[in-house]
C-alpha cells in the first residue's frame, strides 16, 4: 500500500476491503466453504487495519477489524429484551407431545396445521439486535425479560455478522433475533487440551464454557474462545414481514447469519417422531450438543392467535431425548441440606463419565425414593443426567442376576436411614410428604449460605460482590448468623477475610448499604419463599402494593391473583405464619426501606383496570419516546407489551413508518392509537 494514498482513495479501498472480508467471513464461518487461504485473508485484514490506523475517521463499528476484544469492562449492564425470550414447554413423553398437537389443532380448528422441526441446541441463549443491518446489541437471556448486555463479547464471535447481507433480500429497519451460542465439539476439546497443558482447570461441558465466555468482562479473553452462534428465531421485526417459520429461517440465511441445516417441515406427529428418532441416532455425529428437538407452528399469524403463557409460547414444544445413562458403584450416602431446608439423600459414587461430564455425586431425591429403589452403600447402580444436567440414580442393578457383575457374592449393607436431626444445625427434622425438612429456615448454617447468596442475587437485592464463596465465608466466620446481620457489616469487618482488600471491602459494604433500599418485588423474591419466582413476586407487589399487605394476605386473597394457585398460596401463607420467620422479618425490615407501589384498584369496574392485563403492540418510531420509555409507561399501568398482533391485542400504538402490524390490526379490528392517543392513554391513567 502506498504511503502517499489520499483520503478519498483510502475510503474507497477500505470499503472494498471491508466488503471483501465480510464476504470471506461469511463463506468461512457460515457456509463452511472458504475460497481463499488464511494467509490471503490475513493480508487483506492487515491492509484494512493499516488504512484505519492511518485514517481513523474511516473506522466503522461494523468493520471486520473491530471483532478483536478491547479493554475489560467494569461490569455488565442489565437491559430489557426487545421482546420476551420465553422458555419452552417440554417433556420426553410421547403422550404429552401428542396432547400438544391435539390442543393446538383443537384451538385452531379448521386451519391448516404445519410444523417446522429443528434440533434443540444445548448452549447459551442470546438476543441479537440489528438496526439498519448493523449489530447494535447482544443480550444474554437472563430471566427472559431482562438480560446482561454482552455486545462487546458477541462482536468477537466470527459467525455473528457485524453487518447483515442485503442481497438477495432487503434488510428490515429493526431485527431482534434469538440465537444459541455454542462451542463445536472439536473446538471444545481443543480448548480443554490447551487449558490442561497450561495447568488450568478444564470446562465440564461446552454449554458452561460458552455461557461463561459470554459473561466475561474482558472481551480479549472471549476472542480467544472458539464460540459460534446459530440463529434460529425472530423476536421482533420492523420494516418487513415474515409469515412463516420456514421463511424466517430462509431469511436469516439470506442475511448472512449462521442457520442450522437440520430443520424440516412436517405435518404429523408420526413424522416428528421419526425425525426425533433419526436425530437421536445421529446425535454424537453432529459435532455440537443437542438435547432434543423443537416443534414450532409454522404459520406466524396462527401463532399470534394461540399466544403464550407467562412462561412459554403455546405454539412451540420441546421433545427431549432420553437422558444419557452409565453404571457405577455407590461409595456412600449423605444427607445434604439445600437452601429451602429440604434435606436430600445424595449418593457419593465412583466417578463415571456421562455425555462428556465426569459425575461423582447424584441425587436420590427423598427417603421414599431411596426405599423404593432399595439403594444402599456398595450397590451397583445406573445413573443418568436428567435433562443432561442433574445427575440422579435411576435404579439398582441386582448383581446376583447380572452375568457381568464384578462381585456377585457381595454382601449388601444396611438400608439407608434419613437422620432425625438436621446435619447442619441439629434441629429436629419435620416430614412433609416424602421430604425431610429442616424448619430452622434462616438460622440453619447450610440454608443460610444458600439464602444469603439468593438474597443478594441479581433478581433479588442485586448486591455486587456477594457471591457463593463470600456468602460461605460470612457464615463460616460467624459474621452473619442470620440474614439481618448482613446489614451490620462494615469494611473493617470484611478486610481481614480471605480475598478482601481495602477497596473490595469498601465496595461490598457500600453495595450492601445501597441494597437496603429495594423494591418490594425484589425483596419478596430474595426471601426465597417456595414457589415464588420473579414473575409471581412482581405480580404480588403490583397487586397488593405494600409488603405489609402481602404478608397479611389470606390464601383466598392470594389465589384471586392470576397465576397464583392453591399450592403457591399455601406456601406463602405458611412462610409468613411461622413465628421464627416473623421475628426475622421484623428485624430485617427494621434495617431496610422497601420501595412500595400503589396497590392495584380493588374494583373491577374502575377505569384504571382497562390496562390491567391489556396486551399492547408498538409499531413504528415514536418521536417523543424511546421504545423502552414507551414500554415502561404502558407496563407501569398493568399492560403487557407483546410483539405480534392478534384478536386478543388491546391496542396497537402506531408511530412513524409503521410496519405490516398496522394493516393486520385494521384487518382484525384492533384499536389503533397514534402517538397523541398513546400520550392521552398513559396520561389519563
Read off the C-alpha cell for 427: 434441629
pLDDT at 468: 84
Given 298, 320, 342, the domain boundary residue is 320
Contact 22, 64 (CB under 8 A): yes
How much of the chain is helix, strand and coil, in % rounded to 5?
40, 20, 40
Distance of alpha carbon 621 from alpha carbon 549, whole angstroms: 40
Contact 107, 288 (CB under 8 A): no
Supply the residues annotated as catalytic: 120
Read off the C-alpha cell for 539: 405480580
Distance of alpha carbon 39 from alpha carbon 55, whole angstroms: 24
- Give the residue carrying C-alpha cell 475489560: 72
Whether residues 411 and 475 fall in one domain: no
- Give the residue carrying C-alpha cell 476491503: 17
Read off the C-alpha cell for 642: 407483546
Residue 75 within a domain: no
pLDDT at 605: 36
Whether residues 305 and 426 fall in one domain: no
- CATH number for position 26: 1.10.287.610
**Global pTM?**
0.55
Question: What does the radius of gyration of the chain's CA atoms come to, in whole angstroms?
Answer: 28
Distance of alpha carbon 518 from alpha carbon 184, whole angstroms: 42
Residue 80 within a domain: no
Whether residues 341 and 449 fall in one domain: no
Read off the C-alpha cell for 426: 441439629
Distance of alpha carbon 24 from alpha carbon 35, whole angstroms: 7
Read off the C-alpha cell for 60: 466503522
Residue 79 within a domain: no
The answer, yes or no, to whether the previous bond of 95 is cis (omega within 30 of 0) is no
Q: Pairing between strand 671-673 and 651-654?
A: parallel
Whether residues 139 and 246 fall in one domain: yes
pLDDT digits (tens, 9 = 90+) for 33-74: 667 765 677 678 778 888 888 888 888 777 877 765 555 556
Contact 381, 327 (CB under 8 A): yes
- Give the residue carrying C-alpha cell 417433556: 91
Element of type H or E holding 101: helix 94-107
Q: Is 203 helix (H, G, I), strand (E, B) or coil?
A: coil
Whether residues 625 and 648 fall in one domain: yes
Residue 265 within a domain: yes
Whether residues 481 and 400 fall in one domain: no
Burial of 547 (0-12, 13-18, 19+ CB in 10 A): buried
Strand partners, 264: 117
Whether residues 188 and 279 fall in one domain: yes
pLDDT mean values, one per 10 residues, the chain (685 residues)? 70 85 70 65 78 82 67 71 89 92 93 96 93 93 86 92 91 95 87 74 76 82 87 93 95 95 96 95 87 95 88 91 86 89 91 79 88 92 72 85 58 91 94 90 90 90 90 93 94 91 93 94 92 84 91 91 83 92 93 78 43 80 74 76 79 81 84 84 66
Given 434, 457, 483, the domain boundary residue is 434
Residue 83 within a domain: no
Whether residues 633 and 658 fall in one domain: yes
Whether residues 525 and 545 fall in one domain: yes
Q: Which of 296, 292, 248, 243 is nearest to 101 (CA)?
A: 296
Phi and psi at 334, nearest 5°, equal: -125, 160
Given 470, 485, 515, the domain boundary residue is 515
Distance of alpha carbon 446 from alpha carbon 456, whole angstroms: 16
Read off the C-alpha cell for 89: 414447554
Q: Where are the alpha helices (DSSP H) in 380-462?
A: 445-455
Q: Pairing between strand 651-654 and 615-619?
A: parallel
Whether residues 171 and 270 fall in one domain: yes
Distance of alpha carbon 81 from alpha carbon 455, whole angstroms: 24
- Give the residue carrying C-alpha cell 397514534: 674
What's the CA angle centered on 629, arms 625 and 631, to 5 degrees?
110
Q: Pairing between strand 174-182 and 228-238?
A: antiparallel
Q: What is the number of residues in the chain?
A: 685
Q: Which of 531, 449, 447 is nearest to 486 (CA)?
A: 449
| Number of alpha carbons in the 13 Å side-chain half-sphere of residue 14 | 24
Strand partners, 318: 90, 294
- CATH number for position 389: 2.40.50.140
Contact 238, 644 (CB under 8 A): no
Phi and psi at 399, nearest 5°, equal: -70, -20
Q: Which residues contact 198 (CB under 8 A, 6 or more apart)?
A: none
Contact 257, 164 (CB under 8 A): yes
pLDDT at 664: 84
Q: How many domains does the chain have?
A: 6
Contact 206, 289 (CB under 8 A): yes
- CATH number for position 469: 1.10.150.20
Residue 601 within a domain: no
Distance of alpha carbon 435 from alpha carbon 180, whole angstroms: 37
Read off the C-alpha cell for 167: 442481497
Range of the structural domain that residue 492 is part of: 445-515
Whether residues 25 and 113 fall in one domain: no
Q: Is 261 helix (H, G, I), strand (E, B) or coil?
A: coil
Whether residues 403 and 539 fall in one domain: no
Residue 658 within a domain: yes
pLDDT digits (tens, 9 = 90+) for 490-531: 999 999 998 899 999 999 999 999 999 999 999 999 999 988
| Three-state SS letters, 152-170 | HHHCCCCCCCCECCCCCCC
- If one counts every other C-beta atom within 10 angstroms of the C-beta of residue 158, the result is 17
- If one counts every other C-beta atom within 10 angstroms of the C-beta of residue 434, the result is 13
Residue 577 within a domain: yes
Amino acid at each position: 500500500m502506498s504511503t502517499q494514498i489520499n483520503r478519498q482513495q483510502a475510503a474507497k479501498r477500505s470499503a472494498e476491503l471491508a466488503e471483501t472480508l465480510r464476504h470471506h467471513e461469511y463463506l468461512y464461518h457460515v457456509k463452511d466453504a472458504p475460497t481463499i487461504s488464511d494467509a490471503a485473508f490475513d493480508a487483506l485484514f492487515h491492509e484494512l487495519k493499516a488504512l484505519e490506523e492511518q485514517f481513523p475517521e474511516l473506522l466503522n463499528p461494523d468493520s471486520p477489524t473491530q471483532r478483536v476484544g478491547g479493554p475489560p469492562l467494569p461490569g455488565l449492564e442489565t437491559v430489557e429484551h426487545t421482546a420476551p425470550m420465553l422458555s419452552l414447554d417440554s417433556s420426553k413423553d410421547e403422550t404429552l407431545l401428542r396432547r400438544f398437537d391435539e390442543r393446538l389443532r383443537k384451538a385452531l380448528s379448521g386451519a391448516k396445521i404445519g410444523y417446522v422441526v429443528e434440533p434443540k441446541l444445548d448452549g447459551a441463549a442470546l438476543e441479537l439486535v440489528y438496526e439498519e443491518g448493523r449489530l447494535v446489541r447482544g443480550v444474554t437471556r437472563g430471566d427472559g425479560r431482562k438480560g446482561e448486555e454482552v455486545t462487546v463479547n458477541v462482536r468477537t464471535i466470527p459467525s455473528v455478522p457485524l453487518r447483515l447481507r442485503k442481497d438477495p433480500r432487503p434488510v428490515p429497519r429493526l431485527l431482534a433475533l434469538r440465537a444459541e451460542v455454542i462451542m463445536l465439539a472439536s473446538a471444545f476439546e481443543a480448548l480443554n487440551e490447551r487449558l490442561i497443558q497450561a495447568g488450568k482447570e478444564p470446562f465440564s461441558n461446552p454449554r458452561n464454557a460458552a455461557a461463561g465466555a459470554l459473561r466475561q468482562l474482558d472481551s480479549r479473553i472471549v476472542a480467544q474462545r472458539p464460540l459460534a452462534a446459530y440463529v434460529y428465531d425472530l423476536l421482533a421485526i420492523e420494516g418487513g414481514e415474515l409469515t412463516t417459520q420456514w421463511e424466517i429461517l430462509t431469511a436469516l440465511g439470506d442475511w448472512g447469519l449462521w442457520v442450522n441445516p437440520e430443520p424440516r417441515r412436517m405435518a404429523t406427529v408420526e413424522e416428528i417422531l421419526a425425525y426425533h428418532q433419526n436425530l437421536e441416532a445421529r446425535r454424537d455425529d453432529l459435532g455440537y450438543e443437542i438435547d432434543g428437538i423443537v416443534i414450532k407452528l409454522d404459520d406466524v399469524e396462527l401463532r399470534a392467535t394461540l399466544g403464550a403463557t407467562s412462561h412459554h409460547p403455546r405454539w412451540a414444544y420441546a421433545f427431549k431425548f432420553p437422558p444419557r445413562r452409565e453404571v457405577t458403584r455407590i461409595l456412600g450416602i449423605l444427607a445434604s441440606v439445600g437452601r429451602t431446608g429440604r434435606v436430600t439423600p445424595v449418593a457419593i459414587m465412583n466417578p463415571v463419565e456421562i455425555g462428556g461430564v465426569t459425575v461423582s455425586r447424584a441425587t436420590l431425591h427423598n427417603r421414599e425414593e431411596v426405599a423404593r429403589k432399595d439403594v444402599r452403600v456398595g450397590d451397583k447402580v445406573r445413573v443418568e443426567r436428567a435433562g443432561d444436567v442433574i445427575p440422579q440414580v435411576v435404579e439398582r442393578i441386582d448383581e446376583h442376576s447380572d452375568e457381568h457383575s464384578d462381585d456377585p457374592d457381595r454382601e449388601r449393607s444396611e438400608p439407608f436411614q434419613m437422620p432425625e436431626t438436621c446435619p447442619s444445625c441439629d434441629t429436629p427434622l419435620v416430614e412433609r410428604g416424602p421430604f425431610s425438612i429442616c424448619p430452622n429456615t434462616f438460622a440453619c448454617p447450610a440454608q443460610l449460605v444458600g439464602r444469603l447468596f439468593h438474597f443478594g442475587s441479581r433478581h433479588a437485592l442485586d448486591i455486587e460482590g456477594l457471591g457463593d464463596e463470600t456468602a460461605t465465608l460470612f457464615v463460616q466466620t460467624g459474621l452473619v448468623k442470620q440474614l439481618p446481620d448482613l446489614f451490620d457489616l462494615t469494611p473493617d469487618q470484611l478486610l481481614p477475610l480471605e480475598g478482601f482488600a481495602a477497596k473490595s471491602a469498601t465496595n461490598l459494604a457500600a453495595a450492601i448499604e445501597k441494597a437496603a433500599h429495594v423494591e418490594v418485588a425484589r425483596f419478596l423474591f430474595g426471601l426465597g419463599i417456595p414457589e415464588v419466582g420473579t414473575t409471581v413476586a412482581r405480580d404480588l407487589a403490583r397487586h397488593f402494593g405494600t409488603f405489609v399487605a402481602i404478608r397479611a394476605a389470606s390464601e383466598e386473597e392470594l389465589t384471586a391473583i392470576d397465576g397464583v394457585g392453591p399450592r403457591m398460596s399455601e406456601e406463602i401463607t405458611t412462610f409468613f405464619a411461622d413465628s421464627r420467620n416473623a421475628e426475622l422479618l421484623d428485624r430485617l425490615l427494621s434495617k431496610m426501606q422497601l420501595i412500595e407501589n400503589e396497590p392495584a384498584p380493588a374494583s373491577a369496574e374502575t377505569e384504571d383496570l382497562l390496562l390491567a392485563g391489556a396486551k399492547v403492540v408498538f409499531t413504528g418510531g415514536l418521536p417523543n419516546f424511546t421504545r423502552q420509555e414507551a414500554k415502561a409507561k404502558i407496563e407501569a399501568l398493568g399492560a403487557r407489551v407483546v410483539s405480534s398482533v392478534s384478536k386478543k391485542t388491546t391496542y396497537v400504538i402506531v408511530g412513524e413508518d409503521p410496519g405490516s402490524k398496522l394493516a393486520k390490526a385494521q384487518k382484525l379490528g384492533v384499536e389503533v392509537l397514534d402517538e397523541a392517543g398513546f400520550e392521552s392513554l398513559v396520561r389519563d391513567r
